[in-house]
Structure 1
Amino acid sequence: MSERDARHKTSMQKLKRHVDEKVAQAKEQRGQLLVFTGNGKGKTTAAWGTVTRALGYGYRVGVVQFIKGLWECGERERLIDDENLQVAIMATGFTWDTQNRESDTRACQEVWREAERMLADESVYLVVLDEITYMLKFGYLDIDTVKRALKNRPPEQTVIVTGRNAHRDLVAMADTVTEMQETKHGFNAGLQARRGIDY
């Protein structure tokens, strides 16, 4: 065995011991709160990937789309016929297009009632609150209302929160927080969003 191969083997043995120790320490089994935030692309895409994973095991899933619901969504189109998937969509689309605080608040509160129903249903394994961070930032939803629903959800239920500028209380509550960091984005150079890639 070469010196380089020997170093590699030693390094991999050390890594395996570390991983095995972490696996052995992970004993708790329960639903989780995941937050996908940051200015980079991919928060909603990651959430839909987890939806697909849960559906693949036959679990019931609820998705509430607070912003992009009126846009085409390839993942939603592909999965919508799955009997284990329920989707609720805020009827106004992008709030910067509507520019009407009163109607946006009303639409948000209406779809939030669907979210609360899902969050109280122990048969729903995964709930995605897509772009809910905007609703909190704009004041359409009260953070204490959202926190209460998250705290009181069934213990086996996992929730994914997506959107930029996640409220600090949600970050503090979360089990896992992933921040998508934008290094470069084609949109800033004039590239249009591409069907089947960006939506």
Structure 2
Amino acid sequence: MQIESPPTEKPYEKPDGERRGLVLVNTGDGKGKSTAAFGLAIRAHGRGKPVKVFQFMKVPTARFGEHRTFEKLGLPIQGLGDGFSWKSKDLEQSAQIAREGWEKARVAIMSGDYFLVVLDEVTYPLVYGWIALEQVQQVLRERPVHVHVVLTGRRCPQEIIDLADTVTEMKMIKHAFDQGIPAQRGIED
């Protein structure tokens, strides 16, 4: 490790642009995409801002760690999916559930009632063709000016990346799963 001297001067100038709602994307093969989005949701909620979290791959009855925490915090989270695609008994039904979920998310975004809307794992129904990319692009472009939207998931379409204001790619360096260690509650859920 190389030791560095801490900066003694501010390393940037404050932008002089207007504050507005942002489109943020967390993508890539590494861990932390949803976790980072949930952190933003908690940060905004802690400031008294209205937040809504939609999860496109989780079932409405899911009770993962984030659901339990958000419930305690009074932060709304809604599952819009039917689980992992490889567990689906009917992929057309999964696609229909995703389309119905997108309509709920679209209404929430366009209502202007929320400061932040999280579209967790939305890239999967996009890349599977279950939700029309053009519809998502249109909503992101036409949403009320104050609404921030975070999209998460692997393989985010380039069209969404191009439209976004901030894009973070989580890169996997190594993963416990590859070493034969199974997923663990509180870390992977």
TM-score scaled to structure 1, two decimals? 0.86
In 2: Cα distance, 1:17 partner to 1:90 partner: 44
Say which is worse superposed, 25-34 or 74-83, in terms of deviation. Answer: 74-83
Q: After superposition, where does 1:98-113 map in structure 2 within 5 Å? A: 98=88, 100-113=90-103
User: 1:99: how far off?
Assistant: 5.2
**Counterpart of 1:12?**
7
**Structure 1 unmatched runs, 5+:** 1-6
Task: State the Cα RMSD in Å.
Answer: 1.8
In structure 2, the CA distance between the partners of 1:91 and 1:173, relative to structure 1 (3 Å rule), is closer
2:46 paired residue number: 56
Provide the secondary structure at the position in 2 that maps to 1:68: coil
**Higher helix fraction: Structure 1 or Structure 2?**
1
Letter of the 1:75 counterpart: E
Instruction: Specify which of 71, 76, 83 is matched with residue 80 of structure 1.
Output: 71
Counterpart of 2:175 in structure 1 is 185
CA contact (8 A) 1:54 1:60 kept: yes
Rg: which structure is higher? 1
CA contact 2:109–2:143 (8 Å) conserved in 1: yes
Cα shift at 1:193: 1.2
- Residue 55 of structure 2 contacts residue 81 of structure 2 at CA under 8 Å; is this kept in 1? no
Q: How far apart are residue 82 of structure 1 and its match?
A: 4.0
What TM-score, normalized to structure 2?
A: 0.90
Structure 2 letter corresponding to 1:78: T
Deviation (angstroms), 1:172: 0.1
Residue segments in structure 2 that go unaligned for 5+ positions in a row: none
CA contact (8 A) 1:88 1:114 kept: no
Contact residue 74 and residue 196 of structure 1 kept, 8 A: yes
How does 1:39-54 map onto structure 2 within 5 Å?
39-54=29-44
Is 2:118 aligned against 1:128?
A: yes
**Paired letter, 1:32:** L
Instruction: Count the aligned residue pairs.
Output: 185
Q: Distance in 2 between matches of 1:191 and 1:72?
A: 23
